[in-house]
Amino acid sequence: MTEQTPELTCGLINFFGTEHAAHEWIGHHPEVSGVLLNQAEALVCGIAEFGTLMRPGRDSTAR
């Protein structure tokens, strides 16, 4: 299995406080393609991409 990293699978990841803010940004950046995800969808994609680093309740201080 090939290890996936953000550099290989995504050239641009943005987070927005509101859907309106995301649409506003998209309107000003027509050169950027992609999809708009809600928080739950983004979490599912994040877990698929980054594995257990994105799992809810993970102790971020554990090494």
| Domain assignment present for 63 | no
| Domain assignment present for 59 | no
What tens-digit pLDDT sequence spans the chain (63 residues)? Answer: 445 555 555 667 888 999 999 999 999 999 988 889 998 998 888 888 777 675 666 665 655
Tell me how far CA of residue 42 lies from CA of 17, 38, 56, 61, 63, in angstroms.
13, 6, 12, 22, 24
Question: Which residue range is the domain that position 26 belongs to?
Answer: 6-54
DSSP state of 63: -
| Domain assignment present for 39 | yes
